[in-house]
Structure 1
């Protein structure tokens, strides 16, 4: 056999961080030829007290992931995971590795593989690329990743890393001849394994299920669970997890000798895939504070369904009783939407319109029907668009249109025009062409219909109580049932005006038309301008200060153009032409600042900055905090959500509430959905929601609690007291 070749890694085969040293290594004892054993692997050397995770991380954490780029004709098998160790973390426990561990992966070289013979002055080599990610933890957790490259000589053997691969091979669980059995009895799991070797008999074994979140990982042998020997048969009884995520019909499990009982050159662990008998108890689900128990159950089922892997099945119709409850919740949510701050400007327009028609019952009815039609059509259009885009793979939620800077800018321009009109700067009849004015006079109901459309566009970012649960429920329904829910939301929003149009007693409460209406009209211009200010601020969150400044400049130009159209004669033509040309030039120069999306600076490690209470949300950050045993409060929010901003400035800024958070060491994370973020959309979907605000309090070992949209101080303090 040729002499062993020294494997010289290229630059990029080693990645060093403050917590680990990771290296891509290889071992090919018979060279790289079809059918010969070839191994590659990621070797991680941890700093003292730091660890990474096994394939089942335990109560928290994430397993290391390896993604390979290989030449044609070469493929990889699965990671041959060495047996882990149990790592207690407070009241939790994880499965992982400390010190140095090698995660070996077999390469399968087929006859289709042809080495690159074009290299000059060097033997042919196989180029291997690896993209790896891992979560490394101590008391805190840091998500890390690295890209590795390695040139593996194809001739001779590479024995430089033989000792490391031999050690990893010795730590592999050996297959048991018999599958064993597992039985579910009440809240316990009873395991029986046969055929264990003599070296293991009578020893206390460590137990590692490959299926996560099934047993109580932190349970202590001899106290919370027991084990016994009967000849070559090992039995154990252990408690089920308080929050079980799976109910498998078969479980792969690993048992291992304690480190003190292991002997060099002898197997240390064994693996079996045991069938499961018995009936799994019902798993716990998260509580929903603002909905009935029946709707809680429906939402829990829907959340499980939407979190399932793609292709697991199409949405199924819900039972009539459950769906009726969801429809009633949607109707009530739409009704309460009238009380949300988003809808105040539209309320102003409708109040003024109804006052103008006081005493005209027929006009009231027609206006109410037209407004309702506009609301329903808009709700169905927005809901249908969201469902269609989600079905096509887009991660969208309710209020998605305001995640677009262009839409926000267009709405700001529209409300500027409405405000100027109400303030008396211009009259539509003087600024618009005569043909348009005539059409408006012949079809006044078009105004009511369009006001319904506008109400939905501006109100959709708000999520009223009951509305969030119903929208989340709608995502997992067939299209017909989902659209019925959106229609119920629209009917709830339009219901007060519909009732006012058909109930004379309500109409009689309105004051008679008179001079006071001109004063009211000008007063109502200010809610429009307040809405413009809010929209400019929202766009500033999306596009930065340059985008907000550009929008303000163009809104000033828009106001000047509108004013120019109110002039008469030749002056109107000259000034309007100049203003339009100037606005076009300015829009070309600075318009790109409005529609660009500026990403906020994010801390790569998602760790807390000194003195900063709120931290950016990420799934990795939540996992890291869970591994520390810390409870987490998550604020799913957006700049365009007025309800979110109200809760943020009132309840979530209250000194007593913040003191309670500090007293219980609750980590506070903020998931900002102002811009489109698929990760946040996915997290909301898993909670059975599709819009913001959503507030979640979760603690290790307990079901997460979803609080109400209109957040009160007492509700938050009560939830914290229950930790």
Structure 2
């Protein structure tokens, strides 16, 4: 796991309430571990004298914490010290870890008793009779589940007296640490099978032995694939398989060696190897490991071909017009088409302006997404809808549009004079803005073909990625543009008349239906209080729209009522803002997994595969309309669920409604950029099989109940 992935994981864990936090003592006890801050200063605390601190962790049976490189999953223990002036803490002196297989994954860590020693440096600047040490420790402890825990420790050490109560523990920890081998010589080269190493100069009592290899650098090697090794006399020949998702390319590789079956007190060896020139990271081109074993037509393998990806994107854009989230904007386009059906020039201009708005918006959204991902953010298609503030703003916008269509107000009556004049002098501006709005509301939907195309886009260089987003936008805009170019279609519509007024009012109701849906999405993100707060804002906004839009209000009455409406709107916004930022408790989110489903975790997938079970993971979100269609349709079929349960198929649901670094990472690993994603993990299989974005009971039976 790369440094960036670890940072994202810690940020995600920081959003959770710690499982255990103790203040002010030297011991923290949880159901999984007992952690204690201990010290060793056998000669007292003076400049130049050896002083050691350590976190002593005693794990409950079968629970474990992690090494500096945790392997395929997990997080290393982090120690943050608060020391007086003149005293500094060094790095953790990590003991040699053990391999911890979890299904198809391999982690590196510790079980039983563990001491993580840290050397202290005391300078003459330090003064005092007592050394007060404060420590905040964060660790991840795992068994079948993983629990983030933390503790705050305080220890007071006498300066003049010796501190040696844990001398034996520190000695055992010293023996368990890897020792450097300065006489060792190493050569390395890259082959198709992995990194080939030739090591000479190892101690005589190590030669000919079977060894375990632990790379200190995360995100380089395939930990689950055992290194190939053989001895050629005193020379050790190693082949370390490189990870297909490699995220690092260090110039120096630090390796820790341990004899197979050795006791922890026997320690190990540490070697530093100069690495050859690494090939380009997988992010520069589609990684083979990200391709599914099997995929549907909409996610066909081979999206690494740019022409095919462009074709899939164009087809996905066409089908996006059939997705329900785009219906409200299409109703606006139908209204505009009806208004200008008899003026072909204006109709064509509106079609071109709409197309330009769609294309520019897709390119802007793609540029923002690529820039944020380049900065390390784990984001995908529809990422803006993971923000409650954006969802609320979108609901307010559709509410205002609905009120406008009902005739509660006209934009020209509430816009400043220069903006109203701009709309009158540039009528095509409305069509372009409708194109922008279409892209914004299309985000919750993923049409067939889109998943594979967008997944490929996020592995291509910037120019290729932008071209795929442009093809997606062109596909979305083409049907309306074609309608504007087809004269016969305009002749099918009646001439403008009273019917258009009623049709305009009718088109308000799809807007209000969209508001209801966004209210539900917001409720999933921040709870019922947030949804009520948004309703209050909508009510206050409706009052303001009526006051400033009512044509028969006298100026004085409009001024008084307008001031009241603005005060009400401002007060409501101040009241609503905190509720729009609060999140429901984690238990409430997990409860949404649904009957027969469990909340997703990578450990559950690995454990089920190790038990020989097939796993279906539904990567979903409340704001994803396609996800909800499948969730309430094929994925809720009672007979199918009963048959899957009888065949012991594990059903996991990964809810991406709110930003989640672990889910984002897994979606990216699968070669996708957004939801829905339906992945089938089979026991003994390499990469999972990806199902189409639109599911049916028949398709699920064929995939899961062959």
The TM-score, its normalising length taken from structure 2, stands at 0.78
Paired residue for 2:574, among 580, 588, 592?
Answer: 592
Paired residue for 1:15, among 28, 37, 40?
Answer: 28
The one-character-per-residue Cα deviations of 1:400-454 (angstroms, maximum 9, x if unpaired) are 4444445444433443343345456667789999998887665443332332232
Partner of 1:135: 141
Q: CA RMSD in A?
A: 4.6
Q: Is the 8 A contact 1:41 1:103 kept in 2?
A: yes
Q: Is the 8 A contact 1:386 1:396 kept in 2?
A: yes
Structure 1: distance between partners of 2:252 and 2:417: 76
Paired residue for 2:126, among 115, 121, 132?
Answer: 115
Q: What secondary structure sits across from 2:152 in the alignment? A: strand
Partner of 2:510: 527
Kindly state the Cα deviation for residue 343 of structure 1 after the two structures are TM-superposed: 0.9
Partner of 1:626: 606
| Structure-to-structure mapping, 1:66-105, within 5 angstroms | 66-87=79-100, 89=102, 94-105=107-118
Mark the CA change 1:193 to 1:574 in structure 2 (over 3 Å): closer, same or farther.
same
The one-character-per-residue Cα deviations of 1:59-111 (angstroms, maximum 9, x if unpaired) are 554443334444455444443332334445556654433221212233344x4
Partner of 1:270: 269
Q: What secondary structure sits across from 1:125 in the alignment? A: strand
| Structure-to-structure mapping, 1:489-508, within 5 angstroms | 489-508=472-491
Q: Which has the larger radius of gyration?
A: 1
Paired residue for 1:53, among 66, 72, 82?
Answer: 66
Structure 2: distance between partners of 1:691 and 1:82: 40
Structure 2: distance between partners of 1:579 and 1:81: 70
| Structure-to-structure mapping, 1:156-175, within 5 angstroms | 156-175=161-180
Kindly state the Cα deviation for residue 273 of structure 1 after the two structures are TM-superposed: 4.2
The one-character-per-residue Cα deviations of 1:553-577 (angstroms, maximum 9, x if unpaired) are 443454455556676656x667756
Structure 1: distance between partners of 2:240 and 2:210: 18
Structure 1: distance between partners of 2:105 and 2:419: 70
Structure 1: distance between partners of 2:543 and 2:593: 48
Mark the CA change 1:522 to 1:159 in structure 2 (over 3 Å): closer, same or farther.
same
Q: Is the 8 A contact 1:550 1:593 kept in 2?
A: yes
Question: Which runs of no fewer than 5 residues in structure 2 stay unpaired?
Answer: 1-21
Q: Is the 8 A contact 2:254 2:270 kept in 1?
A: yes
Q: What secondary structure sits across from 1:555 in the alignment? A: helix
Partner of 2:350: 367
Partner of 2:325: 342
Kindly state the Cα deviation for residue 368 of structure 1 after the two structures are TM-superposed: 1.0
Partner of 1:311: none
**Structure 1 range deviating more: 646-655 or 160-169:** 646-655
Q: Is the 8 A contact 1:58 1:95 kept in 2?
A: yes
Q: What secondary structure sits across from 1:530 in the alignment? A: helix
Q: Is the 8 A contact 2:140 2:149 kept in 1?
A: yes
Paired residue for 1:671, among 651, 655, 676?
Answer: 655
Tell me whether 1:285 sits opposite 2:289 in the alignment. Answer: yes
Kindly state the Cα deviation for residue 187 of structure 1 after the two structures are TM-superposed: 5.0
Q: What secondary structure sits across from 2:527 in the alignment? A: helix
Question: Which runs of no fewer than 5 residues in structure 1 stay unpaired?
Answer: 1-8, 118-122, 298-321
The TM-score, its normalising length taken from structure 1, stands at 0.76
Kindly state the Cα deviation for residue 531 of structure 1 after the two structures are TM-superposed: 1.1
Q: Is the 8 A contact 1:334 1:489 kept in 2?
A: yes
The one-character-per-residue Cα deviations of 1:547-601 (angstroms, maximum 9, x if unpaired) are 322433443454455556676656x667756654554343344323433312121
Kindly state the Cα deviation for residue 530 of structure 1 after the two structures are TM-superposed: 0.8
Paired residue for 1:654, among 630, 637, 641?
Answer: 637
Partner of 2:523: 540
**Structure 1 range deviating more: 640-649 or 623-632:** 623-632
Aligned length: 666
Mark the CA change 1:116 to 1:164 in structure 2 (over 3 Å): closer, same or farther.
same
Partner of 1:304: none
Structure 2: distance between partners of 1:344 and 1:446: 21
Q: What secondary structure sits across from 1:49 in the alignment? A: coil
Q: Is the 8 A contact 2:33 2:57 kept in 1?
A: yes
Mark the CA change 1:690 to 1:34 in structure 2 (over 3 Å): closer, same or farther.
farther
Structure 1: distance between partners of 2:420 and 2:503: 23
Partner of 1:306: none
Structure 1: distance between partners of 2:416 and 2:197: 83
Q: Is the 8 A contact 1:548 1:594 kept in 2?
A: no
Q: Is the 8 A contact 1:116 1:126 kept in 2?
A: no
Kindly state the Cα deviation for residue 136 of structure 1 after the two structures are TM-superposed: 3.0
Q: Is the 8 A contact 1:140 1:628 kept in 2?
A: no
Partner of 1:125: 131
The one-character-per-residue Cα deviations of 1:516-539 (angstroms, maximum 9, x if unpaired) are 545544433321221121122233
Paired residue for 2:446, among 451, 463, 478?
Answer: 463
The one-character-per-residue Cα deviations of 1:115-171 (angstroms, maximum 9, x if unpaired) are 243xxxxx231524242313232x443333323333344434321111001111222
Mark the CA change 1:40 to 1:373 in structure 2 (over 3 Å): closer, same or farther.
same
Mark the CA change 1:208 to 1:664 in structure 2 (over 3 Å): closer, same or farther.
farther
Tell me whether 1:145 sits opposite 2:144 in the alignment. Answer: no
Structure 2: distance between partners of 1:695 and 1:582: 51
Q: What secondary structure sits across from 2:133 in the alignment? A: strand
Q: What secondary structure sits across from 2:115 in the alignment? A: strand
Mark the CA change 1:379 to 1:172 in structure 2 (over 3 Å): closer, same or farther.
closer
Structure 1: distance between partners of 2:651 and 2:335: 47
Kindly state the Cα deviation for residue 11 of structure 1 after the two structures are TM-superposed: 3.8
Kindly state the Cα deviation for residue 45 of structure 1 after the two structures are TM-superposed: 0.9
Structure 2: distance between partners of 1:673 and 1:608: 14
| Structure-to-structure mapping, 1:198-597, within 5 angstroms | 199-200=205-206, 205-206=211-212, 208=214, 210=216, 214=221, 217=224, 230=233, 233=234, 240=241, 245=246, 252-257=254-259, 267=266, 269-273=268-272, 284-287=288-291, 289=295, 290-296=298-304, 322=306, 324-387=307-370, 397-423=380-406, 443-471=426-454, 474=457, 483-508=466-491, 510=493, 513=496, 517-559=500-542, 562=545, 569=552, 580-595=562-577, 596-597=580-581
Paired residue for 1:178, among 173, 176, 184?
Answer: 184
Q: Is the 8 A contact 1:286 1:705 kept in 2?
A: no
Q: Is the 8 A contact 2:222 2:244 kept in 1?
A: no
Structure 1: distance between partners of 2:375 and 2:193: 41
Q: Is the 8 A contact 1:185 1:279 kept in 2?
A: no
Kindly state the Cα deviation for residue 702 of structure 1 after the two structures are TM-superposed: 2.2
Structure 1: distance between partners of 2:192 and 2:88: 44
